[in-house]
Structure 1
Amino acid sequence: MNNEINLVELALLVIKKIWIVVFSTLLVGILAFLYSYFFVVPQYQSKGMIYVDNSNMVSFPTDLSLSKDIQYADMVASQRLATIYIEILKSQTFLNMVSNDSGTDIPPVKLSSMMTILSKNDTEILEITVTYTNPHVASVLAETILENSKTEIPRIFKGGSVQIIDHANVPVRPSSPNHIKYTAIGLVLGLMIGVSIVIAMDLFDNRVKNQDDLTSKYDYPILGSIPSSISVQKVLKAQFNEKSEGERATYYN
C-alpha cells in the first residue's frame, strides 16, 4: 500500500476499525477520570480582599484647571502603588511574619508559591488567594495575610492605611482537580491514540488486499487476475442453483 493516505481513505479506514477508536477513547477517558479522582490531591482556595488607602500620602493643588491631570496622575500612581503593595506582601520579611503568626511554620518560599495577589482593575483593591491541600489552613493563612497587611503596608508607606473588605473564607469544595476537564482531555487523547493505532496497523500491513493495492505498490500493469476460492464457490453455487431451477421447471412441464 502507498504510504500516503488521503482523507477519504482515512475516513473509510477509521470506520472499518471504529471499534478500536471507540475502545481507546473510552479507556483513556476512564483512566483520566480515575487518575484525577484517586491520585490528584485536591486543592482548596481561600480568598480575601483589602483596600489600601493612600489619600493621606497625596496632596492636591488648589488649581481646578489641573483637576483632570491630577486625576490621571493619581490613577497612574494607584496602579504603580498596587504593584508595590503586592511586592511588599510577597517579601521575605512579611512571609516570615505570616508563617510565624499563623502557626503553620510553612517556609516563605513555599508560602509564596501558594499565594496569588491581584489588583482589581488596577486599583488599590487587592484580592488575596491562598491555595492549599487543607481548607482550614488555607483560610488561616489568608486571614493572617489580611491582618498583617494592616500594619506592614503602613509601616513602609507612611500615611497609608489598609482596610479589610472581605475576610478569608473557609472553602467547602476543592478548586481542583476539575474531573470533567481531566476526563475531556482523556477522551480527546484516547481518540487520537485510537486513530493513530488504526493508521499504524494499516501502514505496516504489507498484504495485498485488492488489484488497486498491487498497482500502487509495484506500478506494473495487471494482465489478469485469479478469483479467490470464495468467489469461485459463489459462482459455482449460483450456476448450480440456476441449473436446478431449470431442471425442476422441465420436470413440472
Structure 2
Amino acid sequence: MTLIELFRLLKKHARFVILVPIICALVVGVYSFAFVRNSYAATTSMYVLAQNEASSSNSNNLYSDLNASQMLTNDVAKLLKSDRITNEVASEVGVAELKGYNVDVTNETTSRVITLSVTGPDPQKAADIVNTMIKDVSNVAHNVMNVESINPISEVEVPQSPSGPNRVLYVAIAFIAGLFVAIVIVVISDMLNTRVRGSEDLKELIDTPIIGRIPEIDRGK
C-alpha cells in the first residue's frame, strides 16, 4: 500500500479515524480529573558534616578528608532509603510503611549535598515525613557513623500546589494512541476485506481490460 492509497483509505474512513482518538482522550481525561488524586512534593537539601570536620579548623585537613566525606555522604543517602529509617518515620508520622508516599534520595559523587524529596497525596504529611527523616537519619548517623550532624540547607515548606499528575500529557498520549489504533484497525480491515469493490479490483484479479459496465437497477424500475 502506497502512501497515497493510505491517505485515500483514511479519508474514506475519516469519521472513524477522528472519533476513536477523541473518545480515548475524553475517557482518559475524565478518569484522570475525576479519580486520580493530586500529588504534592516536599523537597529539601541537606549537608553531611563529619566529626573530624566539626573539630578541625585547618583547611588542609578538610580538603584531605574530602573523599572520605563523600563516601560517608553516599552511606547516609543509602541510610535514608533503609528499612530502619522508613519504618521509624512511618511510625512517627502515622503512615503505615509510608504507603502512598514516594521517597526519592539523590546525591552526586562530587558533592556532600543530599537532596530528599517526598511525594504523596497530603502536602502536610509529605513535609512531616521529610522533617522526620532528617531528624531520624541524623540521630542514627551520629550514633553508628562518623557523622557530626546532618544539616538542612533549606527549610522544608508545605507544598501549596500539586506536582502531579500531568493530566494534559495523559490526554495527549491517549489521543495519539487512539489515532494509532484507529489507523491500524482501518488498514487491517481493508487488507482482510477480499470483496471486489470496483472495476480496479476486478482488473487486478483477472488482468483483462474492462469493456463495459452494467448499472445496478432497483427492483420495480
Query: Shorter-chain-normalised TM-score: which range?
Result: 0.7 to 0.9
The share of aligned pairs that are identical, in percent, is 24
Residue-by-residue CA offset, 1:210-239 (whole Å, 9 max, x unaligned): 3331233x3x33153432427x9xxxxxxx
Q: Is the 8 A contact 1:78 1:123 kept in 2?
A: no
| Pairing partner for 1:100 from 91, 95, 102 | 91
**Match in the other structure for 2:152:** 164
Shift of 1:75: 4.9
Shift of 1:189: 0.7
**Match in the other structure for 1:237:** none
**Match in the other structure for 2:20:** 24
Equivalences for residues 167-186 of structure 1 within 5 A: 167-186=155-174
**Match in the other structure for 1:200:** 188
Alignment partners' CA distance in 2, 1:146 and 1:159: 13
**Match in the other structure for 2:10:** 14
**Match in the other structure for 1:248:** none
Matched, 1:128 2:116: yes
Equivalences for residues 231-242 of structure 1 within 5 A: none
| Pairing partner for 2:212 from 212, 226, 238 | 226
| Pairing partner for 1:155 from 124, 143, 150 | 143
Superposition TM-score, scaled by structure 1 size: 0.73
Shift of 1:8: 2.1
Q: Is the 8 A contact 1:48 1:143 kept in 2?
A: no
Q: 1:79 to 1:211 in 2, by over 3 A?
A: farther
**Match in the other structure for 1:77:** 68
Alignment partners' CA distance in 2, 1:107 and 1:90: 12
Q: Is the 8 A contact 1:43 1:176 kept in 2?
A: yes
Any idea what SS the aligned residue of 1:170 has? coil
Structure 1 residues without counterparts, runs of 5 or longer: 233-253
Q: Is the 8 A contact 2:54 2:148 kept in 1?
A: no
Alignment partners' CA distance in 2, 1:122 and 1:16: 60
Residue-by-residue CA offset, 1:145-187 (whole Å, 9 max, x unaligned): 1222332222222353221112322122222211111011011
Q: 1:14 to 1:105 in 2, by over 3 A?
A: closer
Q: Is the 8 A contact 1:49 1:146 kept in 2?
A: no
Q: What letter corresponds to residue 106 of structure 1 in structure 2? A: A
Superposition TM-score, scaled by structure 2 size: 0.82
Larger Cα Rg: Structure 1 or Structure 2?
1
Q: What letter corresponds to residue 39 of structure 2 in structure 1? A: Q
Equivalences for residues 57-72 of structure 1 within 5 A: none
**Match in the other structure for 1:90:** 81
* Aligned residues between the structures: 215
Provide the aligned C-alpha RMSD in A: 3.0
**Larger fraction in helix:** 1
Alignment partners' CA distance in 2, 1:77 and 1:184: 48
